[in-house]
Amino acid sequence: MIDNHSQTAILLFAQSARVDAISKALVDVAVMDVLNNHVLNTVRNSGLDYYHFTEKEQRGDSFGLRFKNSIEDVFKLGYTSVICIGNDTPLLSVDLIHKAANSLINGNSVLGKSQDGGLYLIGLNHSQFDAENFEILPWQSDQLSNCFQQYLKRYKGQITILKTLQDIDSTADLYHFLAGKDARSLIIALLLNSFRVSVITTSNLLFTINRCFFFNLQIKLARSYSGLRFLLP
């Protein structure tokens, strides 16, 4: 549970499903649609105020500038802290958002690191937001989490590090995630979503899921072979 969240807002910094599917080179728009709906449900269930900035609300010529402007817009509404998230981390939970909110109340900053070196969650109090230096951080690179941690060390308060999660930036990332043990809920969402889209899209979704299971089977067979071959004469 969260102690007091009236001064904390969530910034969902994520483009529409169609634009994101193109920029991330994913198999189908419906995949991003599922991810968008999933994170929106998570945000709503958190009980915090939230603002979704798509490409329509974002302003600027670079990712860093658009992100900086969006955070400034939220702070201008009177909030003293903001939790920034995207739409590409299926295992982001209400519990993690609540942990971030409680840490912010205690004056700490918060980072949720992605497996690829990026960040899936950034929690900042207004006093920890330096617009100029924030904008020039190495966004969309595998150096971001390390550089952001260095950026935060100049401010008062501790840095709360949440557990590391996998994000989905490409079709390959999607296959790896769906082949893992934590993907059941997203697979179900993909299947349910397929009933609301065209036959062509449904075929693409089923093809994606089948590829993921086949990929997982290949890994298991390779591991089994790797273990057995040492037992052979």
- Rounded to whole angstroms, how far apart are CA atoms 105 and 112? 17
> In this model, does residue 106 exceed pLDDT 50?
yes
The C-alpha R_g of the chain, in whole angstroms, comes to 19
| Half-sphere exposure at residue 82, Cβ-oriented, CA atoms within 13 angstroms | 24
Model pLDDT for residues 112-159, shown as the tens digit of each residue: 999 989 999 999 999 999 999 999 999 999 999 999 999 999 887 899
Model pLDDT for residues 158-205, shown as the tens digit of each residue: 999 999 999 888 778 888 887 777 776 666 665 565 555 444 344 455
> Looking at the chain, how many residues does it have?
233
Question: Are the C-beta atoms of 36 and 17 separated by less than 8 Å?
Answer: yes
In sequence order, what are the residues at sequence separation of 6 or more whose Cβ sits closer than 8 angstroms to the Cβ of residue 85?
10, 11, 12, 13, 39, 43, 92, 97, 120, 121, 122
Which has more pLDDT, 221 or 113?
Answer: 113
Model pLDDT for residues 34-76, shown as the tens digit of each residue: 888 889 999 999 999 999 999 999 999 999 999 999 999 999 9
Question: Are the C-beta atoms of 171 and 25 separated by less than 8 Å?
Answer: yes
Task: Quote helix, strand, coil % in the chain, to nearest 5.
Answer: 50, 15, 35
Which has more pLDDT, 79 or 224?
Answer: 79
The pTM (predicted TM-score) of the whole model is 0.80
Question: Are the C-beta atoms of 195 and 117 separated by less than 8 Å?
Answer: no
Question: Are the C-beta atoms of 163 and 104 separated by less than 8 Å?
Answer: no
pLDDT of the residue at 198: 43
- Rounded to whole angstroms, how far apart are CA atoms 78 and 123? 16
> In this model, does residue 4 exceed pLDDT 90?
no
pLDDT of the residue at 33: 85
Q: What is the mean pLDDT of residues 19-26?
A: 76
pLDDT of the residue at 71: 98
pLDDT of the residue at 229: 37
- Rounded to whole angstroms, how far apart are CA atoms 75 and 82? 8
